[in-house]
């Protein structure tokens, strides 16, 4: 440190002497001009360039090198600030083993809180914190060396015993069914089957009709993904027809993931803005429920649709189930965006929202990916 300071002082002193010399030379030439215009010697260009360079260097040094008292107080403040925001030890260890999602670094307070735990003991009760980080793009989350909290006495005969209810306002599935009757917390198979079997309007696409469409096109449905599938009702109905469907879901103030798992299905705890953890071209069907709507930014939506195209096999189906937007936006934004995929329109039904005040509509579309590009 002292050596660097000494070199810096020497550099500044040398530049100041050179500046003084060149400035004196310039003043001499200017006085000569006044006395005799005919005998003015020209200042060499390389000396002028050197003068400008030295001046710029001194300017830079004096601007970026504060005086000792300022430097001392600044360093103390920096030390104080860094000590108060020191990253947890577990985070530092993990960052050397595996990369951390770039978005995590945008929320250091939340990330530090998440990684501030006692290793080899129970994990903190921080489900809400996990959801906040994931929704902000911090996904996948860093791994932790602690034991996750689980229900003490889980039982198939008592569905409530499979959930840690302390995270939620409701403390039972009956409460959820009563307060949110349309969210699918009635886990009976009969309810799931009936939910996707009726045809009440042009927006409906019963599973029987979907299977018939695929059969007529000599297209097999074996594996699907239900994006934003809530409690897994669609996956449960398809399971009864020997079709495996994975469900992406988040725990928004209710145990959606637990509800999916209790049905013997796979919940994928991933946000909509993240790349789906599925290999290219292996999925026969992708259904987008009401979670996929106009609230998603347009550019994010476009990347999302092309990620769905990535995982769909040639001849596979993309089902937009009651996509909600303003009619003008559907015509000018979303329809052209969907058209970029180049899919065949097997079904395209638009209907006005019943209590619409701003021209909102629903779209149900079944689109088939080309067999080959």
Same structural domain, 332 and 207: yes
User: Which residue, 135, 169, 192, sits at the end of a domain?
Assistant: 135
Look at residue 19 and tell me whether its pLDDT is greater than 70.
Answer: no
| Mean pLDDT of the 80-90 span | 64
Question: What percent of the chain has a predicted confidence (pLDDT) above 90?
Answer: 54
Whether 358 maps to a domain, the answer reads yes
Q: If you compute the radius of gyration of the chain from its CA atoms, what whole number of angstroms results?
A: 33
Q: Same domain, yes or no, for 353 and 269?
A: yes
With tokens 């070199």, the residue in question is 7
Whether residue 308 sits in one domain with residue 198:
yes
Please check whether residues 107 and 225 belong to one and the same domain.
Answer: no
Q: Report pTM.
A: 0.73
Q: Residue written as tokens 């005040």?
A: 357
Across 103-112, 323-332, 349-358, least confident range: 349-358
Residues 191 and 298 in one domain: yes
User: How high is the pLDDT of residue 183?
Assistant: 85
Question: 10 Å Cβ neighbour count for 255?
Answer: 24
> Do 108 and 238 share a domain, yes or no?
no
Residue 107, domain member (yes or no): yes
Residue 35 lies in a domain: no
In a domain, 45, yes or no: no
| Longest pairwise C-alpha distance within the chain | 111
Give residue-wise pLDDT tens across range 222-238: 999 999 999 999 999 99
Is the residue at 142 inside a domain?
no
Q: How confident is the model at residue 13 (pLDDT cuts 50, 70, 90)?
A: low
Same-domain check for residues 361 and 213: yes
On the question of pLDDT at 218 being above 80, the answer is yes
Q: How many independent structural domains does the chain possess?
A: 2
Q: Is the residue at 224 inside a domain?
A: yes
| 195 and 104 both lie in a single domain | no
Element (H, E) at 93: helix 89-97
Residue 49 lies inside a defined structural domain of this protein: no
Same domain, 116 and 256: no
> For the residues 61-68, what does the mean pLDDT come to?
42
Q: How far apart, in whole angstroms, are the C-alpha atoms of residue 334 and residue 86?
A: 45
- Listed residues 68, 103, 135: the one ending a domain: 135
State whether 192 and 115 are in the same domain: no
* Cis amide bond preceding 140, omega within 30: yes
Does 177 fall in a domain?
no
Provide the 10 A C-beta neighbour count for residue 105.
10
180 three-state secondary structure:
coil
Per the structure, the complete domain to which residue 225 belongs is given by 184-368
Please report, for the domain that includes residue 223, its CATH number: 3.40.50.150
209 and 342 assigned to the same domain: yes
Final residue in a domain of this structure, among 72, 101, 135: 135
- Judge whether residue 30 has pLDDT over 60: no
In angstroms, the Cα distances linking 150 to 29, 44, 125 are: 88, 82, 11
Q: Do 287 and 211 have their domain in common?
A: yes
Q: Grade residue 191 by pLDDT with cuts at 50, 70 and 90.
A: confident
């Amino acid at each position: 440190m002292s050596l660097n300071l000494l070199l810096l002082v020497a550099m500044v002193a040398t530049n100041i002497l050179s500046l003084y010399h060149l400035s004196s030379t310039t003043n001499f030439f200017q006085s000569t001009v006044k006395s005799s215009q005919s005998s003015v010697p020209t200042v060499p260009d390389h000396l002028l360039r050197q003068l400008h360079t030295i001046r710029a260097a001194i300017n830079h040094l004096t601007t970026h090198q504060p005086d000792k008292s300022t430097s001392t107080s600044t360093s103390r403040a920096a030390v104080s600030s860094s000590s108060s925001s020191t990253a947890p030890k577990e985070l530092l260890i993990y960052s050397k083993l595996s990369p951390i999602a770039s978005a995590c670094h945008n929320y250091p307070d939340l990330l530090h809180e998440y990684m501030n735990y006692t290793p080899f003991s129970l994990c903190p009760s921080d489900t809400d914190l996990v959801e906040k980080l994931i929704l902000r793009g911090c996904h996948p989350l860093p791994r932790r060396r602690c034991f996750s909290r689980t229900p003490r006495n889980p039982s198939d005969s008592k569905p409530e015993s499979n959930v840690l209810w302390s995270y939620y306002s409701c403390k039972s599935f009956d409460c959820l069914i009563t307060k949110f009757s349309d969210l699918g917390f009635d886990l009976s198979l009969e309810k799931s089957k009936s939910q996707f079997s009726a045809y009440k309007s042009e927006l409906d696409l019963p599973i029987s009709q979907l299977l018939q469409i695929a059969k007529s096109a000599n297209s097999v449905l074996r594996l699907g993904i239900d994006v934003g599938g809530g409690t897994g009702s669609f996956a449960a109905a398809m399971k009864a027809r020997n079709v495996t469907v994975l469900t992406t879901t988040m725990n928004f103030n209710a145990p959606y993931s637990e509800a999916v798992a209790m049905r013997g299905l796979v919940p994928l705890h991933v946000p909509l803005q993240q790349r789906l953890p599925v290999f290219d071209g292996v999925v026969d069907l992708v259904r987008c429920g009401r979670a996929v709507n106009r609230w998603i930014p347009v550019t994010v939506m476009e990347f999302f649709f092309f990620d769905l195209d990535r995982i769909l096999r040639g001849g596979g189906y993309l089902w937009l189930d009651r996509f909600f937007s303003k009619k003008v936006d559907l015509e000018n934004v979303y329809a052209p965006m969907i058209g970029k995929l180049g899919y065949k329109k097997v079904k395209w039904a638009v209907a006005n929202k019943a209590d619409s005040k701003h021209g909102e509509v629903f779209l149900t579309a079944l689109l088939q990916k080309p067999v080959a590009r």
